[in-house]
Structure 1
Amino acid sequence: MESKRLEITESALKLFCQYGIKSVSMDDISRELGMSKKTLYQYINDKNDLVEGALNLACNQDCEAMLVFKRKDLNAIEQFFEMKNMVEQFIGQYQPTMMYDLKKYYPALLTDFQVKQKDVHIEAYLSNLKQGQEEGLYHDDIDISVIARMLFAHGIYTFDDSNGLFTASELRNMNLYTEVFKYHFRGVCTEKGLEEVERLFCENNDEKK
């Protein structure tokens, strides 16, 4: 039963991300899965139950992605480039509708998600910043507890289309993420760190040719 519920939740999350929550009906989800609504309701209580499950799944996926900042087989800057590569795979699919619907119709669920996200992100950034200092890639006179919180706040505000700072089209463009990326490194990196950033940018560009 758990595997079938997970399959349903994964399909629902995909549809919610593409079209928003409000516009996706239980009929849409059952059609996507090729099952009747009667069968669907054997695993899901109602749409609210499904939205909560989808958001929990998104939270788990987000937490898993942030583990890249604890990988010891990569240096601190390589960790960021690995995250950049992961973001690049799906950034073109970004749609603001789901976030809008969560804010309007499911604010409590969204708040809970953001609280969990905050703790995981800040812990991951702290790990990366500490490692970078130990490797001589980041300045040792920066307050990593402040920078970690700034990174989280920057990500939350910059990539939230509702504040009007950037358009949905810009938020789907990897150029924005890359500029944010460069901005961060120019603030925290030593000369050695900047050389590593340049090396990795050149390496990535060569791979795409």
Structure 2
Amino acid sequence: MRKAPKNSTLKALDFATSYLRTRVYQTGVGEQIQELLSEFFTLWTKSIAFPELALPVTVMLKRWLKDVSNKATGNKNGKVNFMIVLLLQKLEANSRWIEERRAKVEYAPDDRAGVERFLKDIEWAKTPLVGQRKTREERTRLVEEGRKAEERTNQRDREDAKRTEVADGFDDDESGAEDDSDGDGGDE
């Protein structure tokens, strides 16, 4: 938002009416929900309280999936449903992982120093939830590389078009000059 927007021929998004029930809109919103929830829980992935933190969201997402699985009236956008199922699996896997490590703890919850030491020695990249972030970052990197390659191709196409335009204009000037000199030479 700090830089000027790029020119585009895309239609303006009318969130209020036209896109609400489209697959593109649902997929975009679903991706954003999945990404934001994933990012939030990634921040807490090593917390001793992760299972309790994830529980309300897990219950809510399971209820939503149950509602949309209704064949007659449910959401038939499999991509969104799959993203939510994958997020749920990651949340549950991380919760189980924390619970396994928490079972080995020998201090009480009121021991702040012990709670703060919980999983300090484990890298956050090795937690079950972070793998999804790596996948998303890789996808973002590939999309960005593709966008840059397309931008370079478009720039080359524009430069080639300018060269062709200049060359065509130069050829027209030469042929026109020759025609004029022939015509002038014949009159004199």
TM-score range, shorter chain: 0.3 to 0.5
- TM-score with structure 2 setting the length: 0.34
- TM-score with structure 1 setting the length: 0.32
